[in-house]
């Protein structure tokens, strides 16, 4: 009987192996067949297509399209795009540390990074670039100008610059450096007892920056709460996220698990170091642009009942990517696993292709959501699409004219004009435009082109056009003209009616000219209703 059972089991194993081999052979055959068809198609195109065709580009585009059909995160990194790979993994690149923009044919410095080669060479926002390595830039596309500014660290690039403040034309040689955009853009005490850390990425070594910021905050004996701001943070390296969580939870705490098609992708990530502070009350701020590693940090701290999460639902990216070499210095960033935070839930949105305009997760039916429990307090949390905050707070909504000023780059342009005659201004915590200074901006902006209509006026114009098309205008002409007159305001009227919010936005731009992104991050907290709620949540912790 045992012998018969052995034969039966053996026969079953043989059948399964034969089936697996046949399946593998069948798949290999299908792949080979389709590749042969593709090669034949490309040969016919090269020989017979009526217009000239760049076959290399055609193949590259087809590869990009193929990867794009899988998910938004599986992409080709071509051999000529090493900068993207370096930025993706380290947050660094070789260059001078400046962003440029075009105004007409002129190329202007739009922003200089703090402590960069450009900053050390004395370049400021508003300086005009006339030549790069002897070549006039007025006829060059903006991306070509940027490409000429970048290069290997240690190499030189020569600029001819017309200085903003003096008007002098100078030749300036700058040695390119490894430009690293730090993950911690700003940290400091933002009240008598609350410390704040703004984290914008998860690049190599970023967790050490967070550790340093936290240790510096802890030097203040008044520190009683900490706010981590992950809003707008699109993620990065998973290991860095684990290291950041480890700052606040005990050693050997499980933070996240990845599970994929192959066993090698199944990894449990635990904290490996003693925490800096496992007891300080903690608040984490998130929004619809907080994704991937941001969601690991926020979700793990929520699942472990270690932090209060404040803001809006996160992006919902629960996928892990790996970078693989595919030959000839080309690489692909490919989704190899999903990650699961301590409660067991995955934050991946059920359908990442359908989202709201702001990128946030759309409506998810209750039938597609599974409840989970936090590990210590047993609170209910859900999967199916991002991290839902413990305290939901919508961001401030700006008026349509304020948004129009941003898109027209008028706030940025005026901040350059403002800084032209002022080498120094007050610190971000103290700076404020006077009434006379804002009035000067109103006078200047009133002569510029931007759509200053309110949202109400825009909708009224639509109704008016519809009324005229449907021949109902004649009967309501008087009323519509009266309402239109009330809504039809001059630019100066609109700029004064929205004075407080436009003034705060202009102050942010001006501060950025003097104190870089660090100063902007600090001054933005003044009118941040989500941050106000985060401080309240911290006080309740």
pLDDT of residue 24: 54
With the C-alpha atoms ordered 397, 400, 402, 403, is the resulting torsion angle positive or negative? Answer: positive
DSSP single-letter state for residue 367? G
Report helix, strand or coil for 75.
strand
Encode 122-149: b = buried (16+ Cβ within 10 Å), e = exposed: ebbbbbbbbbbeeeebeebeeeebbebb
pLDDT of residue 78: 86
Confidence class of residue 19 from pLDDT cuts 50, 70 and 90? low
Tens-place pLDDT, residues 170-210: 999 999 999 888 999 999 999 989 999 999 999 989 999 99
Rounded CA-CA distance 371/240 in Å is: 28
Any catalytic annotation for residue 303? yes
**Residue 302 confidence (pLDDT) above 80:** yes
Q: What mean pLDDT comes out for the span 13-32?
A: 62
**Residue 256 confidence (pLDDT) above 90:** yes
Report helix, strand or coil for 359.
coil
pLDDT of residue 488: 93
* Annotated active-site residue in 125, 209, 229, 303: 303
**Contact indicator for 96, 175 with CB cutoff of 8 Å:** no
**Residue 106 confidence (pLDDT) above 50:** yes
Give the tokens for residue 372: 């989970």
**Contact indicator for 450, 442 with CB cutoff of 8 Å:** no
Tens-place pLDDT, residues 340-386: 999 999 988 766 556 666 666 766 777 778 999 999 999 999 988 89
**Residue 9 confidence (pLDDT) above 50:** no
Give the tokens for residue 337: 């696993």
Give the tokens for residue 87: 């930025």
**Residue 16 confidence (pLDDT) above 80:** no
pLDDT of residue 93: 84
Q: What mean pLDDT comes out for the span 230-238?
A: 94
pLDDT of residue 214: 98
pLDDT of residue 355: 66
Q: Are strands 128-132 and 156-162 parallel, antiparallel or unpaired?
A: antiparallel
pLDDT of residue 364: 72
**Residue 420 confidence (pLDDT) above 50:** yes
Give the tokens for residue 212: 């340093």
* Annotated active-site residue in 317, 333, 457, 535: 317
pLDDT of residue 455: 93
- Phi/psi for 448 (5° steps) reads -105, 160
pLDDT of residue 540: 65
Encode 8-36: b = buried (16+ Cβ within 10 Å), e = exposed: eeeeeeeeeeeeeeeeeeeeeeeeeeeee
Give the tokens for residue 495: 């700029």
pLDDT of residue 28: 82
**Residue 285 confidence (pLDDT) above 80:** yes
The whole model's pTM is what? 0.87
Q: What mean pLDDT comes out for the span 281-306?
A: 97
Give the tokens for residue 27: 């798949």
pLDDT of residue 475: 84
Q: What mean pLDDT comes out for the span 380-406?
A: 94
Give the tokens for residue 169: 């034309």
**Residue 121 confidence (pLDDT) above 70:** yes
Tens-place pLDDT, residues 125-173: 999 999 999 999 999 999 999 999 999 899 999 999 999 999 999 999 9
**Contact indicator for 470, 483 with CB cutoff of 8 Å:** no
**H/E run at residue 439:** helix 435-445
pLDDT of residue 293: 96
Q: Looking at domain 92-180, does it have CATH number 2.30.42.10?
A: yes
Give the tokens for residue 67: 């990867």
Tens-place pLDDT, residues 443-485: 999 999 999 999 999 999 999 999 888 878 888 889 888 998 9
Residue boundaries of the structural domains of the chain? 2-53, 92-180, 184-395, 400-454+489-536
Confidence class of residue 3 from pLDDT cuts 50, 70 and 90? very low
Confidence class of residue 11 from pLDDT cuts 50, 70 and 90? very low
Give the tokens for residue 104: 């007409």
Report the mean per-residue pLDDT for the chain: 90
pLDDT of residue 351: 62
- If you compute the radius of gyration of the chain from its CA atoms, what whole number of angstroms results? 28
**H/E run at residue 480:** helix 473-487
Closest to 324 measured CA to CA, from 264, 269, 256: 264
Q: What is the CATH number of domain 184-395?
A: 3.90.226.10
Any catalytic annotation for residue 462? no
Rounded CA-CA distance 41/366 in Å is: 47
pLDDT of residue 71: 85
* Annotated active-site residue in 292, 293, 294, 360: 292
Give the tokens for residue 68: 């794009």
With DSSP H G I counted as helix, E B as strand and the rest as coil, what are the percentages for the chain, rounded to 5?
A: 40, 20, 35
Any catalytic annotation for residue 317? yes
Contacts of range 402-407, beta carbons closer than 8 Å, 24 or more positions apart:
402/498, 402/501, 402/502, 402/505, 404/450, 404/451, 404/452, 405/445, 405/450, 405/502, 405/505, 406/505, 407/450
**Residue 91 confidence (pLDDT) above 50:** yes
Give the tokens for residue 165: 């403040």
Confidence class of residue 32 from pLDDT cuts 50, 70 and 90? confident
**H/E run at residue 269:** strand 267-270
């Amino acid at each position: 009987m045992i012998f018969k059972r052995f034969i039966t089991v053996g026969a079953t194993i043989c059948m399964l192996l034969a089936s697996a081999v046949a399946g593998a052979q069948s798949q290999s055959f299908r792949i080979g067949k389709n590749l042969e068809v593709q090669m034949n198609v490309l040969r016919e195109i090269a020989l017979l297509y009526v217009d000239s065709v760049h076959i290399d580009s055609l193949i590259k585009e087809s590869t990009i399209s193929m990867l794009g059909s899988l998910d938004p995160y599986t992409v080709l990194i071509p051999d000529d795009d090493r900068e993207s790979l370096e930025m993706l993994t380290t947050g660094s690149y070789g260059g001078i540390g400046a962003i440029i923009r075009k105004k007409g044919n002129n190329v202007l410095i739009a922003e200089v990074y703090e402590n960069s080669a450009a900053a050390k060479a004395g370049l400021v926002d508003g300086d005009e670039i006339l030549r790069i390595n002897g070549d006039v830039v007025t006829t060059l596309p903006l991306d070509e100008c940027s490409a000429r500014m970048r290069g290997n660290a240690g190499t030189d690039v020569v600029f001819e610059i017309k200085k903003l403040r003096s008007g002098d034309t100078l030749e300036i040689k700058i040695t390119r450096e490894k430009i690293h955009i730090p993950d911690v853009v700003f940290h400091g005490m933002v009240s008598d007892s609350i410390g704040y850390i703004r984290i914008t990425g998860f690049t190599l070594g970023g967790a050490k920056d967070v550790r340093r910021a936290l240790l510096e905050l802890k030097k203040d004996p008044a520190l009683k709460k900490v706010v981590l701001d992950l809003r707008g943070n699109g993620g990065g390296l998973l290991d860095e996220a684990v290291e950041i969580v480890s700052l606040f939870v005990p050693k050997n705490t499980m933070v996240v698990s990845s599970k994929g098609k192959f066993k090698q992708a199944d990894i449990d990530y635990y904290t490996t170091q003693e925490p800096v502070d496992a007891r300080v009350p903690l608040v984490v701020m998130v929004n619809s642009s907080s994704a991937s590693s941001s969601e690991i940090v926020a979700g793990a701290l929520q699942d472990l009942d270690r932090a209060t999460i404040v803001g809006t639902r996160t992006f919902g990216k629960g996928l892990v990517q790996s970078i693989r070499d595919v030959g000839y210095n080309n690489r692909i960033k490919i989704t190899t696993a999903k990650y699961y935070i301590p409660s067991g839930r995955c934050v991946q949105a059920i359908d990442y292709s359908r989202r709201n305009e702001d990128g946030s997760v759309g409506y998810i039916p209750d039938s597609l959501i599974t409840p989970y429990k936090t590990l210590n307090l047993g609170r209910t949390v859900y999967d199916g699409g991002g991290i839902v905050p413990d305290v939901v707070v919508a961001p401030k909504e700006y008026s349509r004219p304020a948004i129009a000023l941003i898109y027209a780059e008028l706030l940025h342009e005026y901040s350059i004009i403002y800084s032209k005659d002022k080498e120094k201004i007050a610190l971000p915590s103290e700076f404020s435009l006077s009434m006379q200074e804002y009035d000067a901006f109103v006078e200047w902006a009133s002569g510029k082109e931007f759509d200053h209509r309110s949202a109400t006026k825009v909708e009224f114009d639509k109704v008016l056009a519809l009324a005229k098309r449907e021949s109902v205008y004649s009967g309501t002409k008087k009323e519509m003209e009266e309402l239109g007159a009330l809504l039809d305001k001059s630019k100066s009227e609109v700029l004064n009616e929205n004075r407080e919010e436009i003034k705060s936005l202009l102050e942010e731009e001006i501060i950025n000219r003097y104190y870089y992104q660090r100063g902007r991050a600090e001054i933005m907290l003044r009118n941040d209703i989500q941050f106000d709620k985060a401080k309240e949540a911290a006080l309740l912790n």
